[in-house]
A and B are shown apart, each in its own frame.
Chain A
Amino acid sequence: MKADIILSGVGGQGIVSIAATIAQAALDNNLFIKQSEVHGMSQRGGAVYSHLRISDREIASDLIPLGHADIIISVEPMESLRYLPWLKEDGWLVTNSTPFINIPDYPDLKSLHLEIEKFPNHILINADEIARQVKSPRSSNIVMLGAASPFLEIPIENFEQAIGKIFGRKGEKIVELNIQALHAGREYSLTHQKEKV
């Protein structure tokens, strides 16, 4: 088993918690992990990404080579496209459809969605809306994790446990809400994936 994952978004959107959750779940599965992330100045509303690699064999590099990523998980539509040079030919693009607009020349949203829909292997999901539906508006990043989960060979229970470990300090209720967000994202992805096949 081996998965090379690129997580992308804008500084402050919570990609670090997605990465931490996947990494924790992978660790609980006795997998090897390497996860590199961006700290410092670029976090102030700039484009950020994380390379996350999990495997049942020891992993050499902290960085994914170009053209090797199995999946790009993005919490923002434009940022999903910035890392395409890393994506495998048949890799998956799983992205939130809600934009984060903090630049004057942000592209037209329709054209952006069209660009994403060009990929046969894509999931375009309104994670913000789904997070609101499960009454956890701040969990859109975990909705994204749920949407990506069918493409990662890690049992869903492990993600639930990992959420428990990572959000446990914030209380039972937060854990519960995030697990609901996880499942809502997963459901969406499973139904839409089937539609395509």
Chain B
Amino acid sequence: MEKLLLLGAEAIAQGAIDGGMSGIYAYPGTPSTEITEYVQNNKIAIERNIHRNWSANEKTAVEAALGMSYAGKRAMACMKHVGLNVAADPFINAAITGVNGGLVITVADDPSMHSSQNEQDSRFYGKFAMIPMLEPSNQQEAYDMAYESFELSEKFKIPVLMRITTRLSHSRSGIKRKEIKSENPLTYPDDPIQFVLLPSNARKRYKGLLGIQSSIEEAAEKSKYNKYIDGKDKSLGIIACGIAFNYLMENYPENNCPHPILKIGQYPMPYSLLDKIVNECDKILVLEDGYPFVEEQIKGYFDKSGKITGRLNGAIPRDGELNPDIVGKALGKEVKQFFKIPEIVKNRPPELCSGCAHRDIYTALNETMKEFGKQKVFSDIGCYTLGALPPWNAINSCVDMGASITMAKGAADAGVRPSVAVIGDSTFTHSGMTALLDCVYENTPVTIIIADNATTAMTGGQTSPATGRLEQICIGLGVKPEHVRVLTPLPKFHEEMIKVIREELLYEGVSVIIPRRECIQTATRSKKEQRVKAEEVTQ
């Protein structure tokens, strides 16, 4: 069969489709977005009508995937690492309920924070939930693991966590496919009370989860993704997790690494293999992208011998993603660099597209805020976060999805007047609605600007469940209709925007301003698509 050229994210999607998945649930977030997008455009997925719409947030995504698994079908939930914080509640509990059809939760971590607020390592969550984890080292493994992950989940009747990182997610390579499996039929769980986590029942289920730990460890020991590659020079042993294995091998182009290597691709950690390498070798270098997850566990608190090295002792930098040069340096190799970046090169930070509606909103907001003083605008996560950079410097916070409204509330409770939140339409449905309800409950004096561009723009223009219903949602949650104000953010309405913003900033209660204009990226794209369609019709 012809090889497919796929991103790591796409390889997971193809593997899941070929592995018999019936539904994917996700909220877009770099670097995980392309998994779901691939399923949305895939022929087999369309033919089979695999569920592939976006969810309101990561928590609803994991819960829906769990529901599909309850019904016996294979389901996947996808998110970026910080999304797993949002979904932590159902994620941990799904390990207790167990699953019926295979349930795989795929999380893309972002070491080096290419596009994120932090670098957290999802393997800690996997260990916390005590479930098996898969961590591919390359695109082919990403495909194979996704394909096999449902079976692994069904074998142990618990969810499986699949962990990838930005680099693998957004790098392309040729993939060999496997035979396409059919979907599971509808079935119900054997034990009808399994999914009811009342304390008495949860205790029983938890014991069950503890009881299978040794078998999932054994599965990891035997897994083909955990490999012990022997080497003559035992002065050093190298443990390489996931993609770190590739950076290691890059330093030995002829596959001639003289040291024993333990390649880890499946967790819980393969303890007997770890035992072997730690006992056999004088020193150990741990290579892992993300946190020192393996290193910490094998080092233990009292080992001060210095035998085990890695991120904790500075052999590898504590933060940032790995690369072949960092690994080479830790192995004592010389990094050759012939040229420096000339001084003439200036920084080029990202910025709002020219013509973007957010520009007009910030211009109007900045001008109005001049009358009220600085440091009172709380923002959220999306394209509009770029308003923190010059020339606007318009916003003063960006913490997590939905935090703008709740932080503005806390500040207002502390006496800040006016207290302003800027949030996008998609982020508002993700985590802003409950925050707004808190404000309504106490009639907190906050002004919430929902910058409505009719899409989830930052991740490339995905649909959002709130599109076209924002006013209704706000009024439904209890905002007074006369304080829900819709604007058109365009330079020609500049004065009018200022007038409305000023009025609402002066109001001692909850007000919502909705500046509405479609993201120009999605608008241009849909115009182009219409044109191509029209041409096809006329031809």
A63 to B115, CA, bound (A): 18
- Given A39-B33, A40-B458: A62 and B171 within 8 A (CB)? yes
Please measure, in the bound complex, the distance between the C-alpha atom of A100 and the C-alpha atom of B7, giving whole angstroms. Answer: 28
Q: Which of A20-40 contact B (CB under 8 A)?
A: 23-24, 27, 32-40
Taking CB atoms, residues of chain A closer than 8 Å to B352 are 44
Q: How many A-B residue pairs have CB under 8 A?
A: 153
Please give the distance in Å from B497's CB to the nearest CB on chain A.
23
- Is the CB of B351 closer than 8 A to any CB of chain A? yes
Q: How far is the CA of A35 from the CA of B115 in the complex (A)?
A: 19
A63 to B247, CA, bound (A): 8
Question: Does chain A have a CB within 8 A of B344?
Answer: yes
Contact yes or no, A39 B34, CB < 8 A:
yes
Write the chain A residue with the least CB distance to B536.
Answer: A171
Query: What's the tally of chain B residues with a CB closer than 8 Å to chain A?
Result: 53
Which residues from 65 to 109 on chain A have a C-beta closer than 8 Å to any C-beta of chain B?
A: 65-68, 78-79, 81-82, 84-85, 87-89, 102-103, 105-107
A41 touching B350, Cβ below 8 Å = yes
Contact call A35/B171, Cβ cutoff below 8 A: yes
Chain A's closest residue to B336 (CB) is: A67
Q: A27-B5, A66-B335 are in contact. Are A103 and B168 (CB under 8 A)?
A: no
| Alpha-carbon distance between A81 and B339 when the two chains are bound, in angstroms | 10
Known: A44-B383, A45-B351, A84-B339. A105 touches B171 (CB 8 A): no
B172 close to A (CB within 8 Å): yes
CB distance from A98 to the nearest CB of B (A): 15
Q: CB-nearest residue of chain A relative to B9?
A: A39
Are B335 and A78 in contact, CB atoms less than 8 angstroms apart?
no
A105 to B346, CA, bound (A): 7
Q: Are A43 and B350 in contact (CB under 8 A)?
A: yes
* A60 in contact with B249 (CB, 8 Å): yes
Contact A67 B338, beta carbon cutoff 8 Å: yes
Main secondary structure of the interface of B (DSSP, over half): loop
Does A112 touch B at the CB level, under 8 Å?
A: yes
Give A105 to B390 CA distance when docked, in angstroms: 13
Interchain CB contact under 8 A, B172 and A102: no
A87 engages B338 (CB within 8 Å): yes
Query: Which of A44, A51, A61, A87 lies at the interface centre, i.e. has the most chain B CB atoms within 10 A of its CB?
Result: A61
- Selected from B115, B247, B383, B532, the residue in CB contact (under 8 A) with A60 is B247
Kindly list chain A residues whose C-beta atoms are within 8 Å of the C-beta of B168.
Answer: 62
Q: Smallest Cβ distance from A179 to chain B, in angstroms? A: 20
B459 x A40 contact (CB < 8 A): yes
Residues of B within 8 A of A61 (CB): 246-247, 249-250, 323-324
B337 within 8 Å of A (CB atoms): yes
Quick one: closest B residue to A61, CB to CB?
Answer: B250
Distance between Cα atoms of A135 and B253 in the complex (Å): 45
Q: Bound complex: CA of A51 vs CA of B324, how far in Å?
A: 13
Contact code string A176-190 (vs B, CB < 8 Å = 1, else 0): 000000000000000
Ranked nearest first, the 7 interchain pairs of A and B with the lowest CB-CB distance are A40-B30, A46-B350, A36-B171, A40-B115, A61-B250, A60-B249, A84-B339
B residues bordering A, Cβ < 8 Å?
Answer: 3, 5, 30-31, 33-34, 114-115, 138, 167-168, 170-174, 243, 246-250, 253, 323-325, 328, 335-342, 344-353, 383, 385-386, 458-460, 532, 535
